[in-house]
């Protein structure tokens, strides 16, 4: 028995200390998508952050230390002309975010007000509830568009100019909670809950009507939002209606970027199971910025690999997490507790920073808006590697993920980039995005089950003629003023 134990220990030790050598070559001459930004969502439970006695520290973690630049909000303008407490909470959070770092806002909606829903309820109760119809039997696209415009005005007036707008969260999903079904075009479908056929409004028509209304009155806004769509539930081609079903029925000249979630298209146990569908997205929309705007499943290492795959395969320009700050959850970046029930807190502060937070930070703290993904080639295909360069061409960030149980020895061989200095940061089961030392091209160790970000300073060679691979829209205005007197607001009746 002792002999068997010693042999087992020897094999385990050999596996953990074995070092596989891998060379990496990155080349800023070959460039791909520009980064719009990384971020998280705060919709439900925002008051758990703002009312926490340690809220300043939570804000520091979310908006200062993490390095995210996009905050996704849900449209809370439900009581037109009256009180909207959710708006006040959002305004407080956005103000705290901007104290710490410039933050772009993405506004989506889970449901329009009940007055514009066919069931006269913001919740769908697992039905195919859609827009209401007028006396002529026509869907109320015009009223819906006016509500959206007035919503943007309200956010604008409260110091929350909306940079990105998505008219409907998951239009192909009828949840028990707030929702609103839109099909790619007007059509009759069967409602499994109601046990009858129902007529459903068109996402493409609603999208255009909202865009046209806001664009017509954009002079009254701080900025003209960049429209994203169709923000479907997932990316599985066989789970319909799928993303291309929607975009084929949209005026894509009005759509700045394609956004989606990741609840279908792969398994939360294996980030590489998404690769086929991520490739399908890139091939379907090669000239549009691609936004992953909600996902929450998987542990810290899975999350890092899924972000990496989204950047490398989909060539996503943005990745936004759902459980940014979420009640009592290891899946959240910040796990929060109810400030109104302190007697049941499991922590002294009412919040906990999880390991997933630090895994995400390996990207968000080192890759910023307008940085561009560049080519990087590992000699070993089992190593996951991505690289990004800043607009001044003097900084490069390399993100390496080791999913194996083997230690890796890495040698970095840049082309067309002269390195002057660098720092290395690691997240593992025992490290929380910690600085592990200065960059040394001949001495880079990647531990088993770990993420390593190498932040480099230097310069691109003069013979580099790299060009941007993404065609960006130019019809959107530059920012003007931030807050104007309410008397100047043009509300549509």
The reported pLDDT for the residue numbered 149 is 98
Sheet of 434-438: strands edge to edge? Answer: 434-438, 417-427, 450-460, 395-402, 384-389, 372-378, 19-34, 407-412, 444-446
Residue 426: strand pairing partners: 434, 452
293 and 378 part of one domain: no
Q: Determine phi and psi for 446, rounding to 5 degrees.
A: -110, 110
Angle (CA) 64 70 74, round 5°: 120
- Residues 6 or more apart in contact with residue 316 via CB below 8 angstroms: 33, 290, 291, 292, 310
211 SS3 class = helix
Whether 406 is covered by a domain: the verdict is yes
Whether 477 is covered by a domain: the verdict is no
| Residue 14, both tokens | 């050999």
The reported pLDDT for the residue numbered 487 is 43
Residue 399: strand pairing partners: 386, 453
When computed from its CA atoms, the radius of gyration of the chain, rounded to whole angstroms, is 24
Domain extent at residue 55: 37-371
Whether 51 is covered by a domain: the verdict is yes
341 and 390 part of one domain: no
377 and 347 part of one domain: no
Q: Domain containing 440 — which CATH number?
A: 2.60.40.1180
**What residues of the chain score a pLDDT lower than 70?**
1-19, 463-491, 493
Whether 190 is covered by a domain: the verdict is yes
384 and 349 part of one domain: no
172 and 266 part of one domain: yes
- Provide DSSP, 416-483: SEEEEEEEEEEESSS-SSEEEEE--TT-EEE-SSEEEEEEEEEEE-TT------------SPPP--S-
Last residue of a domain, one of 337, 371, 405: 371
The reported pLDDT for the residue numbered 465 is 54
Q: Domain containing 340 — which CATH number?
A: 3.20.20.80
234 and 377 part of one domain: no
366 and 390 part of one domain: no
362 and 409 part of one domain: no
Q: Is 0.85 topped by the overall pTM?
A: yes
191 and 44 part of one domain: yes
Whether 483 is covered by a domain: the verdict is no
217 and 309 part of one domain: yes
In angstroms, the CA 372 to CA 229 distance is: 23
Whether 56 is covered by a domain: the verdict is yes
391 and 327 part of one domain: no
- Residues 6 or more apart in contact with residue 193 via CB below 8 angstroms: 125, 126, 127, 128, 174
309 and 250 part of one domain: yes
Tally of structural domains, the chain: 2
The reported pLDDT for the residue numbered 142 is 98
* Length, in residues, of the chain: 493
Whether 470 is covered by a domain: the verdict is no
């Amino acid at each position: 028995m002792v002999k068997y134990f010693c042999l087992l220990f020897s094999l385990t030790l050999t596996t953990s200390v074995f070092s596989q050598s891998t060379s990496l070559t990155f080349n800023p001459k070959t460039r791909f998508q520009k980064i719009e930004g990384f971020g998280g969502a705060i919709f439900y439970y925002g008051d758990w952050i703002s009312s926490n006695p340690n809220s300043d520290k939570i804000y520091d973690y979310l908006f200062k230390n993490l390095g995210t630049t996009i905050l996704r909000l849900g449209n809370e303008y439900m009581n037109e002309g009256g009180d909207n407490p959710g708006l006040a909470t959002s305004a407080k959070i956005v103000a705290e975010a901007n104290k710490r770092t410039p933050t772009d806002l993405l506004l989506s909606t889970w449901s329009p007000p009940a007055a514009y829903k066919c069931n006269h309820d913001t919740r769908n109760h697992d039905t195919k509830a859609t827009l209401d119809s007028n006396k002529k039997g026509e869907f109320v696209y015009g009223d819906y568009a006016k509500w959206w415009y007035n919503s943007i005005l309200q956010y604008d007036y409260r110091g929350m100019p909306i940079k990105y707008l998505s008219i409907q969260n998951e239009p192909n999903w009828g949840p028990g909670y707030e929702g609103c079904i839109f099909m790619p075009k007007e059509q009759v479908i069967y409602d499994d809950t109601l046990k009858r056929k129902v007529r459903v409004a068109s996402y493409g028509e609603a999208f255009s009507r909202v865009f046209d209304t806001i664009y017509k009155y954009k002079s009254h806004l701080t900025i003209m939002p960049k429209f994203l769509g169709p923000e479907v539930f997932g990316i599985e081609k066989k789970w319909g209606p799928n993303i291309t079903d929607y975009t084929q029925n949209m005026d894509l000249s009005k759509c700045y970027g394609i956004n989606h979630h990741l609840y279908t298209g792969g398994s939360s146990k294996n980030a590489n199971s998404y690769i086929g569908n991520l490739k399908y997205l890139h091939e379907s929309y090669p000239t549009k910025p691609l936004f992953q705007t909600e996902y929450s499943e998987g542990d810290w290492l899975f999350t890092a690999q899924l972000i990496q795959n989204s950047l490398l395969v989909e060539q996503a320009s943005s990745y936004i997490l759902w459980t940014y700050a979420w009640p009592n959850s290891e899946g959240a970046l910040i796990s929060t507790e109810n400030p109104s029930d302190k007697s049941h807190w499991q922590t002294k502060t009412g919040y906990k920073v999880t390991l997933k937070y630090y895994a995400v930070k390996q990207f968000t703290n080192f890759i910023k808006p307008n940085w561009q993904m560049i080519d990087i080639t590992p000699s070993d295909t089992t190593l996951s590697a991505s690289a990004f360069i800043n607009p001044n061409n003097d900084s490069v960030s390399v993100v390496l993920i080791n999913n194996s149980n083997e230690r890796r020895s890495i040698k970095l061989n840049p082309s067309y980039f002269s390195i002057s200095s660098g720092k290395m940061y690691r997240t593992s089961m025992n490290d929380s995005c910690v600085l592990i030392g200065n960059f040394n091209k001949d001495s880079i160790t990647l531990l088993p089950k770990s993420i390593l970000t190498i932040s480099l300073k230097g310069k691109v060679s003069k013979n580099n003629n790299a060009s941007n691979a993404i065609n960006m829209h130019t019809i959107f205005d530059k920012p003007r003023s931030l807050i104007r007197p309410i008397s100047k607001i043009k509300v549509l009746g």
